[in-house]
Amino acid sequence: MAYLFTSESVSEGHPDKVADQISDALIDNFLAFDKESKVACETLVTTGQVVLAGEVKSHTYLDVQKIARDTINSIGYTKGEYMFDGNSCGVFSAIHEQSDDINRGVDRASKEEQGAGDQGMMFGYATNETENFMPLALDLSHRILKELSDLRRENKDITYLRPDSKSQVTIEYSDDNVPQRIDAIVVSTQHDDFADDDTMLAKIRKDIVEILIPRVIAKLPEQIQALFNDDIKYHINPTGKFVIGGPHGDTGLTGRKIIVDTYGGKGAHGGGAFSGKDPSKVDRSAAYATRHIAKNLVAAGVADEILVQVSYAIGVVEPMGIFINTYGTCPFNMTDGEIAEKVSEIFDMRPFAIEERLKLRNPIYSETAAYGHMGRTNEIVTKTFTQPTGESVTLDVELFTWEKLDYVDQVKEAFNL
């Protein structure tokens, strides 16, 4: 019997994502001036206030207030009527030095022997149902909000949009797990006040269905476009008015959107957030590494769908173990345990090896903090960072290295594919 599966996304203006973006902007600035920085930074945002807290070990000094304000302004919170804007909000910093007890378990005389920054398990997932090897419902949810953000910034076809928004897509699958059609789409977007509520709701619904969705569809592959139909159930701002939003509507915290950040409920999640953590924290680096493994395995034809788990003990160099689940989609006669054994031979999962392989000691994290850490485009960009002293550094950095299909040939050779 066919079944339904749903994933959601939230925009860069969602309060939790505002917090994530501030935390990751701090990470990038620390790493830009000191690649060895150890950072765990949490952010809280609420009406007119930003609170920064966390632990840092670094040789650089930053104007954290300016970084937070610049990030908020870049998202689009620039008006006093939002009750939260980058120029006027209060920014309180409670960032302090990292505990020597924690640092002792991570740093080693030899970098190759660097221990894991924490215990825990991390998961990576990939499926061949989309071109970027991501679950379709989540991919579409992200695309809807990215397009909505573009419309907001263009301020031409739709002129009343505010930064906070959420989306949700429900897809019908066949018994053999193939997407058949889109069943429902939910979009809730913050907006300017309207004189008449009924006019407002009709206008927003019309614009979302007739302007936003066609722009999303136009950028999709033909086989995904075919899943859209006239019977889709649209729920547009289903609670009605959505003028009060962002950190004024709800308090935001770093790390509260970990399912949006990863696979939309497909696969699994180890529970650790990403944003605000330097790559010595395996919550982040190993989650990227397992995604890299899963994507390359699926692309090489090892299975149609793969879940990879790795686990660590704090301060210990080697992982506790690697687990593979192919969901019965492996086309050749090999058990998941045998696949895991080969994976451990191909991919070095020591924390320092992950950092080196994926170039994680670079300021590459601000771009991850909205619209998902996985399934993104690998590219090289130029960034400039400035210290309070006026010293600037301009760097070419490679984003989303864990999305590269650079191990496909090695995987094929190892599995005789």
Residue 111 annotated as binding site? no
Residue 342 annotated as binding site? no
Residue 203 annotated as binding site? no
Residue 34 annotated as binding site? no
Stated as kind and residue range, the H or E segment containing 18 is helix 15-33
How far apart, in whole angstroms, are the C-alpha atoms of residue 229 and residue 183? 9
Residue 206 annotated as binding site? no
Residue 242: other Cβ atoms inside 10 A: 19
Residue 241 annotated as binding site? yes
Q: Say what the alpha-carbon torsion angle 257, 217, 207, 237 is, to the nearest 10 degrees.
A: -30
Residue 341 annotated as binding site? no
Nearest to 82 by CA among 197, 245, 251: 245
Nearest to 211 by CA among 153, 157, 282: 157
What's 210's DSSP letter?
Answer: I
The string of DSSP letters for 325-393 reads: E-TT--SSS--HHHHHHHHHHHS--SHHHHHHHHTTTSS--GGGGSS-SSS---EEEEEEEE-TTS-EE
Residue 66 annotated as binding site? no
Greatest Cα-to-Cα distance within the chain, rounded to the nearest angstrom:
67
Nearest to 60 by CA among 91, 36, 41: 36
The residue to which tokens 């999303």 are assigned: 216
Residue 242 annotated as binding site? yes
Residue 150: other Cβ atoms inside 10 A: 12
Residue 14 annotated as binding site? yes
How far apart, in whole angstroms, are the C-alpha atoms of residue 256 and residue 250? 12
Q: Which two tokens stand for residue 188?
A: 């809730």
Phi, psi of 204 (to 5 degrees): -65, -45
Residue 112 annotated as binding site? no
How far apart, in whole angstroms, are the C-alpha atoms of residue 374 and residue 7? 14
Residue 250 annotated as binding site? yes
Residue 21 annotated as binding site? no
Stated as kind and residue range, the H or E segment containing 44 is strand 38-46
- Return the bridge partners of 234, or none: 185
The string of DSSP letters for 270-287 reads: -S---TTB-TTSHHHHHH
Residue 83 gets the label, from left (phi > 0), alpha (psi -120 to 50) or beta, of left
Residue 79 annotated as binding site? no
Residue 147 gets the label, from left (phi > 0), alpha (psi -120 to 50) or beta, of alpha
How far apart, in whole angstroms, are the C-alpha atoms of residue 208 and residue 191? 12
State the binding site for Mg(2+).
Answer: 16
In the annotated binding site for K(+), the residues are 42
Q: Would you list which residues are annotated within the binding site for ATP? A: 14, 164-166, 241-242, 250, 256-257, 273, 277
As annotated, the binding site for L-methionine includes 55, 98, 250, 281
Going by the annotation, the residues of the binding site are 14, 16, 42, 55, 98, 164-166, 241-242, 250, 256-257, 273, 277, 281
